[in-house]
Amino acid sequence: MVTVLVAARDAATREAVAAALYARRHEAVLAADLESARRSLHSLRAEALVLSTDLGLRGVRELALLVAGQEPAVPVLFLATLDERWTAGALPRRPGLDEVLVRPCAGHEVAQAVARLLQRAEGDFVQIGPAHLHRPSRELRGVGGVVALTATEAHLLEYLARRRGRVVPVAELLEQVWGFPAGEGPAGTVRAHMRNLRIKLRQASAGEVHVRTLHRHGYLLE
């Protein structure tokens, strides 16, 4: 589940954006003022920010700077007035990473823009809660350290991560990750790799990311 910080003074904006993000299986952390937003950024790892300029331009710039330079990059969606949108230098927008929507805007528009930003920012990284997979090196990096994955483990983890929150059947994994024909392949292969992957996930994420086994159904990355 992706965590998105939504900071806006207007309650209707916060609620509409949160509902649209929840519909996409994202977690929305809401902040009604700058101090709440600062505390949230210091206590959690957000994958994206939605910042409304009704908090004040100076405060919005401060919040955006708090995540500047983080790796993987944290994209920011600014909700701004029309004048703010077109005033040079008003917003610390990073070309190719951040976006601006003119407010007021519908919750679903914000959720769609967040989805675009996340896809664009991902690049070589796949975010998995407090850890992330660096695809070129096949390294799983997180608060618990850096762990090397095999090619199959990396493929398996990325497949599960892109379906996080959904139960993935063993037959689907055998077909999509290992390349067996539909309905074929040994389930023991999946179990063995999953056992090793769980150990590495636990280490890199300091025990915060888990893969559940649902008997006769499949695996669920929580």
pLDDT tens-place string over residues 111-164: 999 988 887 776 677 888 888 888 888 999 888 999 999 999 999 998 898 888
In this structure, how many other beta carbons lie within 10 angstroms of the beta carbon of residue 21? 25
Are both 111 and 134 inside the same structural domain? Answer: no
Are both 108 and 81 inside the same structural domain? Answer: yes
Are both 103 and 10 inside the same structural domain? Answer: yes
Are both 10 and 117 inside the same structural domain? Answer: yes
Are both 63 and 138 inside the same structural domain? Answer: no
Are both 171 and 111 inside the same structural domain? Answer: no
pLDDT band per the 50, 70, 90 thresholds, residue 15: very high
The count of structural domains within the chain is 2
Q: State the pLDDT at residue 203.
A: 93
Amino acid at 128: I
Q: What are phi and psi of 219, to 5 degrees?
A: -125, 145
Q: State the pLDDT at residue 101.
A: 93
Regarding beta strands 139-142 and 48-52, do their DSSP bridges make them parallel or antiparallel, or are they unpaired?
unpaired
CA distance 197 to 211: 9
Are both 47 and 66 inside the same structural domain? Answer: yes
pLDDT above 70: percentage of residues in the chain = 99
Are both 136 and 108 inside the same structural domain? Answer: no
Q: State the pLDDT at residue 166.
A: 86
pLDDT above 90: percentage of residues in the chain = 54
pTM of structure: 0.61
- Those residues with Cβ within 8 angstroms of residue 14's Cβ, 6 or more apart along the chain or in another chain: 6, 8, 30, 32
Which position has the token pair 């939605």? 50
Are both 27 and 94 inside the same structural domain? Answer: yes
| Closest-CA residue to 67 (of 54, 50, 51, 49) | 49
Q: List the domain range (segments joined by +) for residue 21.
A: 3-122
Helices 107-122 and 11-23 pack at an angle, to 10 degrees, of 60
Average pLDDT over residues 187-212: 92
Contact (Cβ atoms closer than 8 angstroms) between residue 203 and residue 147: yes
Are both 69 and 134 inside the same structural domain? Answer: no
- What is the CATH number for 170? 1.10.10.10
**68-83 per-position pLDDT tens digit:** 877 777 899 999 999 9
Are both 99 and 36 inside the same structural domain? Answer: yes
Q: State the pLDDT at residue 1.
A: 64
Q: State the pLDDT at residue 46.
A: 85
CA distance 81 to 136: 40
Contact (Cβ atoms closer than 8 angstroms) between residue 25 and residue 4: no
Are both 142 and 186 inside the same structural domain? Answer: yes
- Average pLDDT of the chain, as a whole number: 89
